[in-house]
Amino acid sequence: MSKFWRFCRVGVPGALLAGASTGGAEIRETGVWWLPRNVSHFGHEIDFMIYVILWITGITGILVFSTMIYFIVKYRHRGGVGAIHSHGNNTLEVVWTTIPVFIFLGLAIYGNEMWGRMRMQKAPADALQVAVVGEQFGWNVRYPGPDGKLGKMDSHKIGKDNPFGIDPNDPDGRDDFTTYNDLVFPVNRPVQLHLSSKDVIHAFYVPEFRLYQDMVPGRVYDFVWFKADSVGSFQLACNQLCGQGHYKMFGKLAVVSDSEYEAWAKGKAPAATASLGSSAENVATVNR
């Protein structure tokens, strides 16, 4: 690309704004102003909730702002017309206290019902178990091998050489395989995550999954699960400030068909007993 183009790209944002979707190398599937595409099963409900609140606040907003503008125009100071004298109105107070109470309680109850289903309900038994452990600045990922069982994770055992806190003698863990910054999920199959961290807090964030979860060191979270309902490739972003390399702590994430997943998994060799994540280079590379 020419120097001129480069100058235009960074120097003339107005023009750029118009050419947003053509200028960038990657084309977002959904335009730049609104939600990204959603591929997860709970994501639809979350989007729905967003729209519910958008409608409620939108209508309230229109009412509030049009009233305000109307008053501002109608009651602007004009010679000879004084203000009326009023200290308030108790009926109105009761009305505009009660209505928001019901709206907000309704939202809270509805929201928590959803929350209960997404977070407090156990993942289905056939869910693929995947462990993801963050570290400064990358992702250790561990998949169950042919036995379909993930080695048991113990947060106390998580350490430099044992990112997943696995007991080397646990038979379930023997055939597990690991990757670094590389996640593949089968489509239409529930995936249950086992999240933890080696050092500071990181967060598992995939906007297309409508999914965010902090990963606090010293704990293993196993309540996050989801089902991707269409294929695609995405980025897993760390979304909790974790140090100077935070901004580029991301991983490759693909949702593929079942058969593709099986093929991918087959090609992976079981991890060494204690399963070391290959985390050697990452600290050095963030220092520019």
Partner 1 sequence: MSTATLTHAEAHSHHDHHEASGWKKYLWSLDHKIIGLQYLFGSLAFLFVGGGLALLLRWQLAFPSTQVMPDGNVGNPLSLAFINPQFYNALFTMHATVMVFLVVMPVLVGAFGNYLIPLKIGCGDMAFPLINELSFWVWLASGLIMLAGFFVAGGAAAGGWTSYAPLSSVAAYNGTKIGQTLWAAGIFINGLASIMGAFNYITTIVNMRAPGMGFFRMPLAVWALFITAFLLLLAIPVLSAAGAMLILDLNYGTNFFNPAKGGQPLLWQHLFWFFGHPEVYILILPAMGMVSDILSVNSRKPVFGYRAMVYAMIAIGFLGFIVWGHHMFVSGMSLVLSAAFGVSTMVIAVPSAIKTFNWLGTIWGGSIRFNTAMLNALAFVSMFVIGGFSGIFMASTPVNIFVHHTYFIVAHFHYVLFGGSIFAVFAAIYFWYPKMFGRLLNETLGKIHFALTFVFFNLCFFPMHNVGLGGMMRRIADPTVYEHLRALQPINQFITLSAIALGFSQFVFLYNFFRSLRHGEPAGKNPWEATTLEWTVDSPPGHGNFATTPTVYRGPYDFSVPGHGKDYIMQNEPPEPDYPAGSPARLRPTPAG
Residues that bind ligand HEA (CB under 6 A): 56-57, 60, 64, 100, 103
Of the candidates 194, 198, 210, 246, which one interacts with ligand CUA according to CB under 6 A? 246
Instruction: Choose among 120, 100, 122: nearest CA to 112.
Output: 120
User: Minimum distance between the CB of residue 195 and partner 1, rounded to whole angstroms?
Assistant: 8
Dihedral sign (CA 38, 207, 220, 112): negative
Task: Tell the smallest beta-carbon distance from residue 136 to ligand CUA (Å).
Answer: 7
Looking at beta carbons only, is 21 or 278 nearer to partner 1?
A: 21
Is 4 near partner 1 (CB under 8 A)? Answer: no
Nearest-angstrom CA–CA distance, 204 and 249: 11
Residue 279 main-chain phi, psi, to 5 deg: -110, 15
* Interaction mask 256-285, partner 1, x per CB under 8 A: ------------------------------
**Residue from 134, 163, 165, 277 binding ligand CUA (CB under 6 A):** 134
Q: Which does 164 bind (CB under 5 to 8 A by kind): ligand HEA, partner 1, ligand CUA, none?
A: none
Q: How far is the CB of 203 from ligand CUA (least distance, A)?
A: 7
| Helices 90-115 and 43-74, packing angle to 10 deg | 160
User: Which listed range, 58-66, 92-100, 241-249, 260-268, lies at the site for ligand CUA (CB under 6 A)?
Assistant: 241-249
Nearest by Cα to 152 from 139, 167, 141 = 167
- φ/ψ of 85, rounded to 5, equals -110, 115
One character per residue 133-162, x = contact with partner 1 (rule: CB under 8 A): ---x------------------x-------
By CB under 6 A, is residue 227 in contact with ligand CUA? Answer: no
Instruction: State the CB neighbour count (10 A cutoff) for residue 135.
Output: 24
> Least distance (Å) from ligand HEA to the CB of residue 200?
15
Instruction: Identify which of 84, 85, 101 has the alpha carbon closest to the alpha carbon of residue 93.
Output: 101
By CB under 6 A, is residue 249 in contact with ligand CUA? yes
Select from ligand HEA, partner 1, ligand CUA, none the partner in contact with residue 219, using the beta carbon and a kind-dependent cut-off of 5 to 8 Å.
Answer: partner 1
By CB under 6 A, the residues from 47 to 66 that bind ligand CUA are: none
Residue list 201-220, contact with ligand CUA (CB under 6 A): 202
Backbone phi, psi, residue 226, to 5°: -160, 170
Backbone angles phi, psi at 83, to 5 degrees: -80, 155
Burial 225-260 (b: 16+ CB within 10 A, else e): bbbbeeeeebebbbbbebeebbeebbbebbbbeeee
Question: Going residue by residue from 158 to 197, which x/- string records binding to ligand CUA, judged by CB under 6 A?
Answer: ----------------------------------------
Count the residues of the shown chain that bind partner 1, applying the rule CB under 8 A. 110
Q: Which residues are within 8 A (CB) of 214 and not within 5 positions of it... i.e. 6 or more apart?
A: 201, 202, 203, 240
Binding site for ligand CUA (CB under 6 A): 134, 137, 202, 238, 240-242, 246, 249
